[in-house]
Amino acid sequence: MWRRRVGSLLRLWGFWPTGVPGRRPLSCDAASQAGSNSPRCWNCGSPGGPGRENGFFCPQCRALQAPDPTRDYFSLMDCNCSFRVDTVKLQHRYQQLQRLVHPDFFSQRSQTEKDFSEKHSTLVNDAYKTLLAPLSRGLYLLKLRGIEIPEGTDYEMDMQFLMEIMEINEKLAEAESEAAMKEIESIVRDDFEEAKEILTKMRYFSNIEEKIKLKKIPL
Say which residue, 119 or 185, is predicted with more confidence. 119
- H-state helical runs in the chain: 2-12, 30-34, 73-76, 87-101, 111-132, 134-144, 159-174, 178-216
Mean pLDDT of 95-124: 94
Q: Which are the contacts of 115, defined by CB distance < 8 A and separation ≥ 6?
A: none
Instruction: Give the per-residue pLDDT at 195.
Output: 67
Q: Are residues 49 and 55 in contact, defined by beta-carbon separation less than 8 angstroms?
A: yes
Separation CA 190–CA 164 (nearest Å)? 14
22: left (phi > 0), else alpha (psi -120 to 50), else beta? left
Instruction: Give the per-residue pLDDT at 63.
Output: 92
Instruction: Tell me the per-residue pLDDT of 54-71, one tens digit each, with 9 for 90 and over.
Output: 668 988 889 999 998 889
Around Cβ 24, how many Cβ atoms within 10 Å? 6
Mean per-residue pLDDT of the chain: 75
0.75 cut: is pTM over it?
no
For the cut 70, the answer to whether the pLDDT of residue 83 exceeds it is: yes
Instruction: Tell me the per-residue pLDDT of 164-196, one tens digit each, with 9 for 90 and over.
Output: 777 888 888 888 888 888 888 887 777 667 666
Separation CA 124–CA 37 (nearest Å)? 23
Q: What is the dihedral of CA 138, 139, 143, 145, to 10 degrees?
A: 40
73-145 carries CATH number 1.10.287.110: yes
Query: What number of residues does the chain have?
Result: 219
Separation CA 32–CA 50 (nearest Å)? 9
Around Cβ 50, how many Cβ atoms within 10 Å? 22
3-state secondary structure 130-194: HHHCHHHHHHHHHHHCCCCCCCCCCCCCCHHHHHHHHHHHHHHHHCCCHHHHHHHHHHHHHHHHH
Around Cβ 212, how many Cβ atoms within 10 Å? 11
Instruction: Provide the pLDDT confidence category of residue 74 given band limits of 50, 70 and 90.
Output: very high
For the cut 70, the answer to whether the pLDDT of residue 86 exceeds it is: yes
Top mean-pLDDT range of 30-39, 132-141, 180-189 = 132-141
Domain assignments of the chain as residue spans, ordered by start: 73-145
